[in-house]
Each structure stands twice: as C-alpha cells, then as structure tokens.
Chains A and B, each alone.
Chain A
C-alpha cells in the first residue's frame, strides 16, 4: 500500500508540459501540410509521386517522436556523462562526410548515409545537439567563473573546433554560425554581466557592416559568398543567378498579401522557387496563407520558446536549465535567421525553419532536443512551480 501511494505521489508530482507537446505536434503537422503543398509539383515531375517528400518527412518525424519519447525518460546523469562522447562522435561523423559514406546532394557534400536510417544524416545537426549538452555540463561545473573573461573564452572555445569543421569540411557556413550562436546564447544567460555582450555585439555588427562595405566596393573578388551579399543588397540586379531565389521568395511573400492565395494555391512553388519545401518554405506559407498565416507561425514559435523558458526557469538544477537554454537558443536563432533570409533582411544562407522545413536530420535532432526539454520538465517538482 505504501509503495502504491508513493508511486501515486510520484505521478502526481510528475510534470508534463502539454502545451509544449501540442505546439511541437502542431508545428510538425503544419510543416507536413506545407511540405506537401510546396513540393507536390516538383515531386510529381521529378519522382512521379506528389507525396515523395511528404512520405520521407513523415518517416523522419515519426522516428523523431520516438526518439523524443525515449530522450524524455533517459536519466540526466547519463546525458551529462555522454557529453564528451557526443562531442567527439559528432566530430568523427563530420569527418566521415569525406569518406565513401558521404553523400553529395545539391552540389554540396554535407550528408552521410548510415545503415538503418531511412534518410541521409547531416552531422552538423548532431554537432548542435552535442554542443548544447557539453556546454551545459561545462557551465554547470564552472559556476561563477563563467562571468569572467577567461570563463567566457573557455566556453566559446569549445564549439569552435566543431564549427570550424562544419565550415571547412562540409562548406556549411550557416550551421557553423548556428553552433556558435547556441554557445553565445548559453554563455549570455549563464553570465552575470551585460557589458561584455553589448560590446561584443556592437563589434560583431561593425565587422559585418565593414565586410559588406568592402564587398560592395569590390575590393576583393568576393566569390560565391560575396555575390550573395551583393544580391542581398540589390536582388533585382542579380535576378538571373544569385538573387534569383531571394527575389522569387520576395515575389511569393508580396503576392500573398494579407490573407494569402489559399492553401495549395501558390504559383511560385511551380519550380520558380528552387527547393521551395526546404529553406524557402516560409515564403510559400506567406504566399498561400498571407501575413495572417505567417504571423500565426511566428506566434507558435514565440509560444514554443516561452514554454521552454518557463521550463528552464523552473529547472531543478543549472545543468538541466542550461540544456533548455541551449535548445531555446538553437530554435530561436534558426527561426529568426530563416525568416530573415526569406524576407531578404540578411544575405541568403541556407538555414531551415525548425520543424517545418523538409529535412530528416533536422527534424530528428530537433525532436531529440525537445525530448531533452521534456526530460528537464519531468524533473520539475510541482510544488516549486
């Protein structure tokens, strides 16, 4: 009897964030609908099956939900202990891209094919997860030293090797930036002061502005990325090549209006926006569902981040809180940057919209991260709330 009661008590204390689950499921479901809408035309012409991309994404999502469930119940000690392993494993996987296991697609070699996984794995996504876990461990062990310049430098130094490998080996600048941004978000929350971050933020903005100025003045050749910056500044002049995708996305957003053309009615997805189910899916959302749909999706992300913030603020310890902060950083940075790219607020770089864009690795590891958040939430003692 006592045993039973204790169990009952445990269950009563067990916290489960249903709103978070609902938001995540909504985003995945909505993403599947939009992937089907955006990709059915190209899928029919290329694969003869309008649901080609939908089926792949659905399989990845189901696998991800299972992984999420498992993750929610893994003891936190295990997670902390696996931090270094995850870090080095992701580094090895990045290197494996160069091996025969590597897969080339869309003119870039960023994926590996592992037996038993129905889609190509993008090691950069694993690296993001590994950095979140490892930094959470390091920060929770450091304590107050985090606020010092030395602590800051140490924490920022940890993700650099991975980011550098992602950039050099897989030629994927955006993922490298996201890895660093996750670290920055975590260290920002963990540190006491603001001054450092304001200064560094201003320096970063000044550097970026300087770089743009140099490229615009044409001092260096600029190359592929320089061209993207020029196309960002004036997409209509580069409508045929570098600016094509951005301009077509802008056409989609602009032509969608306030209420959109209606679900499935996009014209831009008819092979005008290349890979419309991937990075540019937000433009199709804008075209079909208008400003209304776009704001609704942005609100869903805000809600998602808000729920996670509540969980972090109630986390039983620093480690688990930092895990959630890392996940918040990841999802927030990616969502903001993606929408910024689609609206041509920043230069075009390949960033997918979390939970919605097509991509097996992306959704799998995002759901594993959400699993971590549920894991943290499960350990919240209800009386503390």
Chain B
C-alpha cells in the first residue's frame, strides 16, 4: 500500500510555489482592475451621472389639439376638424419575433387593400430598425376599426402597427363662402379669410402624454391634455350665402364662353350686410373654388391669367396678361405660374380687389353736398350733355335738361354731379370721402384687405378734372367692402359701423370667450340727409336706371354703376348695383359688382340689377320681411314657380288699417333726431336735457357713462381717425 502511494505523483513544493505565484498574479490583476474602477469613479462620476439622467428620455407622445370650428350665425358648421389616423409601421417591433411578421403583413393586406404590400415588405426588410414608416395617412376611424379589432384579439401576433392621431380640416360646404372662410393647411396655418385672420384663436396647444418612472421603477403615465382651439362664430348666414352664391353661379354659367372662351365674368362679387350693425350676412365671389381641394387647378380654367413681371421701376408686379386660362394653357403652365394664379383665385374679390366704382358713388357725392350745405334739396341742375372741366369735355350719356336732385341721381347724370362737386369744392368733397372711409382700410376681420390709400387723391393733390370725375366714381379705386360699409352709413341715418364677419368666440366647451358688438366708428351724415338719400335711391328703382332690380312684391332702393376701366375706351366695364330694402326701414344692404362680364357689350347695369333682383326675391322672404307692393299676374306666376308665399296681406298695414306711419316696425323714434351732446357723445333731449344712448334709445343714467368704458360710442366729431 505504501509503495503504491509513493508511486502516485505528488503536488511538489515547486508546484505549490508556482500556484502561489499564479494566485499573486490573479491578485495583481484584481488589484489593477480595482484601481481602474476607482479611477473611473473618481474621474467620471459627475459627468456620467448627468449622462445617465440625460438619456432617460421618458417616452412621451404628443396629443394633438383640435383646431376650432368656424360656424355661421345659426351655428351651422362652415369649417370643422375631424380626427383622422396615420398608419405607422414599426419594423423593429414587427421583426422582434419571427411569428409576428407574416400575420401582420397578412392583416395589413386584408384590411388595407390600398397598400402596396410588396413595397412594405421591402421597406421592413431593408429598414429592420426603423420604427417610423407611414404608408397611409388620414384614414377615418371606420377604415381602421376592423384592423384594430383584429389586432386586439388574443394571440393575434399583429405587432408593430399603430395609429397616430391627427386632425383633418373639413369644409362641409365645399366651395360655400370659400373666400370668407379661407382654408387651413395641414400644419394648421390658416390661409385667407377667417382661417388666416383668426388663426391664433382657432389654434389650441398640443397636449402631451408623459411616461415616467415612479419610486418602484414602474412606468406610470400622466396626461397633460391638449387645449383645443376656440370656435369662431361668424355673422355669415349660410342660407343667405347660399342664395347669393346660387345667383352668382347661375350668372356665371349663363355667360360662360358667351363672348370669349372664359368664365362668365372676370369677377363677380356680392356683399350682403346688415346696415344697422355692420355685420356681413353674406359675402361671395365668382369664380369660386373648393375649400376641401383648394389646389384643384381645374378651377383656374376660364379665369383671367396673371403673370409676375418686373416693371419699369424695377419692382415686381403682378398683372393680368389679358388672356384667359384654357385647358391647353393650364397644361403648359409652370408650378410657379399655377401657384400665382391659384393665389389670385383664392383671394377675396370683395376685399382684396380694387376698381373704379362708377355711378354708385353718386349718392355719396350728393349726400356730402347736402350735409355740408353746399346745395339744398330744392336745387336743380341743368345737363347739356357735357361739361368742360380743365380743358376736357366730360360727357354725360345724353342731354338730360333741368333735373332735380332726385332725378339727377335716378338718371345718373354725370354733368349734374360734376356741378354739385364743383359747388362743394375739393376740400369738402375730400373730407367726406375720408369720412366714408375711402382710401382707408375698413379693418374688416378678414385677411387680405387691400390698401387703397394710394388709389385716391387728397384735396391738395386733386385738380378740377379729378374732382369732376371723382363725383361720379371714376379715376379712383375702392374695394367692395368700403363701398358696402359706406353705403350702409348713407342709408341708416349716417352711422358708420366697422364691417365685421365674426360676432362671437367660444371655447371648446362652448363658453363665450369674447363677443364683438357692433362697432360704431363715426357719423358720416345726419339722419335728414340720410332720409333724402334713401328717397333718391328709391327713385332710381321706381323710375331710374335701377327698375330691373325690383323684386316681385317689394320695393327696394339703390344705385346703379357702370364704370369704365383703364385704359379708357377698351370696351371693358365694371357694372354694379348697391341697394337696400325695405326702402323705409333698411334691414339689409345688397351690393353686387360685375367685373367685365363675358358679353360683347359690357356696359349694362342690368347684369348687376338682375342679380340683385334674384337675390332679393329669395332673401326678403327668408328675412321675414313682408311684401308691400301689388303684384302683377306675371309676378304672381313667378312667385308660384319659385314656391314663394305672397305675404302682401301682412306687409302693408297702411292700406288695410289706414293708419299713419311708414315704418312697419313702428314710427321712427323721436330720440334719433336729438342733437349729439358734445361732452358725452350721447344724444341729448333738448327739452329735458336727458342723455340718450344713440344705439339703444335708452336714457343714460347720469355719471354712469364713465364706467361703461370702451362700449361708449365716441362722438363722431371726436373720432375720426387720421391715417
């Protein structure tokens, strides 16, 4: 046994020593590593602590806000935002397990047949780490619902697909009120109209969903909800807007390709306003475009083509080419040219285009002359067919002979108007033009209002020819909204209200954030002058140039305009008609402008008056204004065809009851005629000294007006903002 044991080789002392050496080597290695650890901690502790914290990006997602609606006066949605979904493919998750890929691809192919599956397979294969690929955008909930259900099933193995929420701007009316509303881009930036002007009001702020780690290192979520945008309540009444657009489009269709291969007119615009508040009830222009597809170039066909040039002074200028866009031309246009022309289409003719108003200016001239005392209402004027001014023979349409003021307006006599203006002088004429807000922005709450300051000469710059031609609305430019707002003040007793399109802002839960009361800026003329102007305008429709504007059963009042365009003698005209109804108590002002109708002979105001008649025929019954005029058999038949009721029996209380009073809503209140108290700006009863609120007729409590603040109407004498 012992021998055997000795035979066994032993772990010699030498080896034991070497093992100790090995142990020391290992010890040294550990010591070295410990030193390295110590150095790491010593040198980098603070830096790496920050690094660790900085890379903890708490997984957070943006919750998009909803852009507010735009609604009409009755709450009908003009613009709204709908939730839509973007399909997001997360390749990394999908490829995490082999079992996910095929079922996910099959489900995608099944529920989204519009997908090109070959492309998607290739994408996922080529980008296995991508977690953001969006093959489909803006799907509705109905489209994604079946897929989501399939995905939610147990053991579905459909992985790596999720849906990102977004809002899509939708315009239920399509092209309805396109110019007023404007449109919002996908990034929620409004362009044109209310969308642009009220962009910040309509936009909200994004919310966020945060993930964070709590003390137990579990992921918790907290949500900071998005603040949705506010709702803009417009004064536009969709029903009136529809009436107007129907008439405009009918007119456009009638004249399309009549004389030239183009739209029915270069532009047709119509503004319907409430003269007593400055609220715009409808605003439309032709040709229009679809807000849901504003970039549709088909809408350009027939429009006058615009081009951008560098003019003699070295400035870029956008001007008409004089040609009209055809399908063939559209095909060869560059992208920039198309955009230029689309911008021209998108801008609102009623506020952005300027033109010479023509004879619709005459009531303004007459009112200024009467108000300033330059003429009296009994004055008569003689028309010899022309007047020599500054060496020019400025012609009238005929020799009208001796005319009263009423007839001068009714017959639209240029010579009489030139004589009136001459009597008034450039200073007074120019002061009144500024009072009517010509040459200034109306500050209507719409984006893109044109500046007209340079398009109208001041008294100092005017020569006699300017004064003469200005008197009948030539040689200076205005915008439609200037004319409409000014005309409102002419016929409502001289109260100039700032025209506006929005009455109220509410937040997403419906609470009112801001209301816009009618803003009385100034008084242009007195009530008595206004009354005279109303009667002259009535005469235009009864016996003058505007007979064709009278709708069945009603009497309306207005003034026609047939303006030459530059260069003179080109045969191109802007015809227009400004009007109001009912004649004794104006409730609505309708202003129609036809810019270069597509007809061989353009200088006929009937293009405008016919449209106004069409509008009134449906508008006045809609506004519950009763008929006052006897109907002819032809008119009865017409109403029957249009399925409109004859409301004559309610509308004419005078004839049935034999009572005095022209106003169907009661006599004109006495307080309207009171003089304005120069100290407070209120109307003052000369007998009692009581102060009356000019707008409501309520007596003002002494001393209380200070507290009313901004709502106090500033006396017209004081408020006449100088530009």
Contact = CB atoms under 8 A, between A and B. Distances in A.
Interface of A: 41, 140, 143, 185, 188-192, 250-258, 264, 267-268, 270, 272, 286, 290-291, 294-295, 298, 301-302, 305-306, 309, 312-313, 315-319, 321-322, 325, 328-329, 332, 335-336, 339-340, 343, 345
B223 interface: no
Nearest to B26: A332
Contacts of A188: 18, 22
A321 B11 CA distance: 6
B15 A305 contact: no
Given A305-B23, A343-B33, A343-B36, A318 B49 contact: no
B119 interface: no
Given A291-B38, A313-B11, A317-B8, A336 B33 contact: yes
B213 interface: yes
A185 B512 CA distance: 86
B166 to A, nearest CB: 28
Nearest to B47: A254
Contacts, number: 129
A321 B8 CA distance: 12
19 contacts: A189-B22, A251-B48, A251-B55, A253-B48, A254-B44, A255-B52, A267-B53, A267-B56, A270-B213, A291-B37, A291-B41, A306-B23, A312-B11, A312-B16, A321-B15, A328-B19, A332-B22, A335-B30, A336-B26
A305 B26 contact: yes
Contacts of B8: 316-319
B30 A309 contact: no
Contacts of A190: 15, 18
Given A253-B40, A256-B41, A309 B15 contact: no
B623 interface: no
B30 A336 contact: yes
Nearest to B45: A257
Interface string B425-447: 00000000000000000000000
A255 B45 contact: yes
Contact of B45 (A254, A267, A295, A298): A254
Interface of B: 8-11, 14-16, 18-20, 22-23, 26-27, 29-30, 32-34, 36-38, 40-41, 43-45, 47-49, 51-53, 55-56, 213, 217
A17 B144 CA distance: 68
A41 B52 CA distance: 17
Contact of B19 (A254, A264, A312): A312
A298 B43 CA distance: 21
A298 B40 contact: no
Sorted nearest first, the 10 A-B pairs with minimum C-beta distance are: A254-B48, A321-B11, A254-B44, A318-B9, A255-B49, A332-B26, A255-B48, A255-B52, A313-B16, A336-B29
Given A313-B19, A336-B33, A253 B52 contact: no
A189 B27 contact: no
Contacts of A335: 30
Contacts of A328: 19, 22-23, 26
A318 B10 contact: yes
Contacts of A315: 11
Contacts of B22: 185, 188-189, 325, 328-329, 332
A255 B51 contact: yes
Nearest to A294: B37
B34 A298 contact: yes
A220 to B, nearest CB: 27
Given A254-B43, A264-B217, 4 more contacts: A250-B44, A313-B19, A313-B20, A336-B30
A298 B33 contact: yes
A143 B9 contact: yes
A280 to B, nearest CB: 14
Contact of B14 (A192, A258, A264, A339): A192
B41 A250 contact: no
Nearest to A45: B219
A256 B18 CA distance: 37
A41 B217 CA distance: 8
B11 A317 contact: yes
Nearest to B96: A46
Contact of B30 (A268, A270, A301, A318): A301
A270 B216 CA distance: 12
A3 to B, nearest CB: 20
Contacts of A252: 48, 52
Contact of A189 (B15, B30, B43, B53): B15
A345 B48 contact: no
Contacts of B32: 345
A295 to B, nearest CB: 6
Nearest to B215: A265
Contacts of A302: 26-27, 30
Nearest to A186: B22
A140 B48 contact: no
Contacts of B14: 192
Contacts of B36: 343, 345
Nearest to B16: A313
A254 B41 contact: yes
A250 B52 CA distance: 10
Given A254-B44, A264-B217, A318-B10, A325 B19 contact: yes
Q: Considering residues B49, B51, B52, which has the most beta carbons from chain A within 10 angstroms of its beta carbon?
A: B52
Nearest to B11: A321
A309 B23 contact: yes
Nearest to A265: B217
Contacts of A185: 22
A306 B37 CA distance: 22
A264 B18 CA distance: 42
B219 to A, nearest CB: 9
Nearest to B28: A336
Contacts of A41: 217
B72 to A, nearest CB: 52
Contacts of B217: 41, 264, 270
A258 B38 CA distance: 8
Contacts of A191: 18
A329 to B, nearest CB: 8
Nearest to A190: B15
Contacts of A301: 30
Contact of B41 (A143, A257, A268): A257
Contacts of A305: 23, 26
A295 B36 CA distance: 12
Contacts of A256: 41
Given A188-B18, A339-B33, A253 B10 contact: no
Contact of A286 (B11, B37, B55): B37
Contact of A268 (B19, B29, B52): B52
Contacts of B29: 332, 336, 340
A298 to B, nearest CB: 5
A234 to B, nearest CB: 15
Contacts of B55: 251, 272
Nearest to A325: B19
Nearest to A268: B52
B40 A343 contact: yes
Nearest to B8: A317
Nearest to A185: B22
A123 B45 CA distance: 40
